């Protein structure tokens, strides 16, 4: 069973099934992802698999050989997370007998996330590549992403308030929230009161989405319905719970 996969939202389209019914669907570029770390309970306190997606190099360097690429976009810490840089710290740890942590030996990644695998049997190692074909046979998935940021919005858009009435006596208060608290007691506004403020740009999950198609050659997964985030936004895909 797949641990999970990282991807990029391409956009929405329509797909016909075998019976001729049309379904709104979202196309996701899923992988290929490189396994950067395998967390263990003895060493890290929990079990998880860390994946990385989308090489962090400039577009001009993608067609160049690996030894001629300019890696100025990635910091030394990001490069040291995926490759052995022979640093002074690593040499001191090796001299003291501390075993070196295995490295994936790949480019630094833009999108790095972990999938918890507590109690599950995982047959992946550092450096393995996870592609869309790992979801072959999975019927439904959960997609995790960051919703679109809407900035500072009012209560009608943020909380679906109906607004005040539009009768003859209402003057420039049609979209206002109205009263927000009591008078003498408690003489304050309760915490958590629904008011205007920052809307969107939050982690959210679309659960139990049906997998319509899997394009193994192009690493594309088509799921039914919509998923969080804008076109081009990064998402996490895992089998539905």
pLDDT value of position 67: 61
Q: How many CB atoms lie within 10 A of CB 121?
A: 6
The reply to whether CATH 3.40.1080.20 applies to domain 33-130 is no
Q: Report the pLDDT value the prediction gives residue 209, as an integer from 0 to 100.
A: 93
Enumerate residues 6+ apart whose C-beta is below 8 A from 192. none
Which has the closest alpha carbon to 31: 53, 12, 50, 63? 53
pLDDT at 42: 85
Q: Where in the chain is the domain with CATH 3.30.160.810?
A: 33-130
pLDDT in tens, the chain (241 residues): 678 899 999 999 999 988 889 999 999 999 799 999 888 888 888 889 999 998 877 666 666 666 666 666 778 888 888 888 877 888 888 888 877 788 888 888 889 999 988 777 777 888 888 888 888 888 999 999 999 999 999 999 999 999 888 888 888 899 999 888 878 888 888 999 999 999 999 999 999 999 999 988 899 999 999 999 999 999 999 998 8
DSSP per-residue letters across the chain: ----EEEEEEEEEEEE-TTS-EEEEEEEEE--EEEEEEE-HHHHSS-EEEEEEEE-S-GGGTTS-GGG---TTS-HHHHHHHS----HHHHHHHHTTPPPPP---S--EEEEEEEE-TT------TT-EE-GGGGTT--EEEEEEEPPEEEEE-HHHHS----S--STT--S-TT-----S-SSSS-SPPTT---SEEEE--EEEEEEEEEEEEETTTTEEEEES--SS-TT-EEEEEE--
């Amino acid at each position: 069973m797949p641990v999970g996969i990282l991807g990029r939202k391409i956009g929405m389209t329509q797909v016909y099934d075998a019976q001729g019914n049309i379904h709104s669907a979202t196309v996701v570029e899923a992988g290929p992802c490189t396994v950067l770390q395998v967390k263990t309970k003895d060493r890290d306190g929990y079990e998880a698999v860390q994946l990385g997606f989308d090489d962090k190099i400039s577009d001009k360097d993608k067609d160049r050989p690996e030894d001629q690429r300019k890696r100025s976009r990635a910091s030394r810490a990001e490069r040291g997370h995926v490759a052995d840089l022979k640093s002074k710290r690593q040499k001191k740890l090796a001299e003291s007998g501390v075993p070196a942590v295995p490295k994936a030996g790949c480019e630094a990644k833009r999108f790095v996330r972990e999938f918890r695998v507590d109690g599950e049997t995982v047959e992946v190692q550092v450096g393995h590549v996870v592609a869309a074909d790992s979801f072959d046979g999975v019927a439904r998935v959960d997609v995790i992403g960051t919703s679109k940021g809407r900035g500072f919005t009012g209560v009608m858009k943020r909380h679906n308030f109906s607004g005040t009435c539009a009768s003859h006596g209402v003057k420039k208060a049609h979209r206002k929230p109205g009263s927000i608290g009591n008078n003498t007691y408690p003489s304050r506004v309760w915490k958590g009161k629904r008011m205007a403020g920052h809307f969107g740009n939050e982690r959210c999950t679309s659960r139990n989405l049906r997998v319509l198609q899997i394009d193994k050659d192009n690493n594309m997964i088509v799921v039914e319905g919509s998923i969080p985030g804008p076109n081009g936004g990064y998402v996490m895909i895992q089998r539905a719970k």
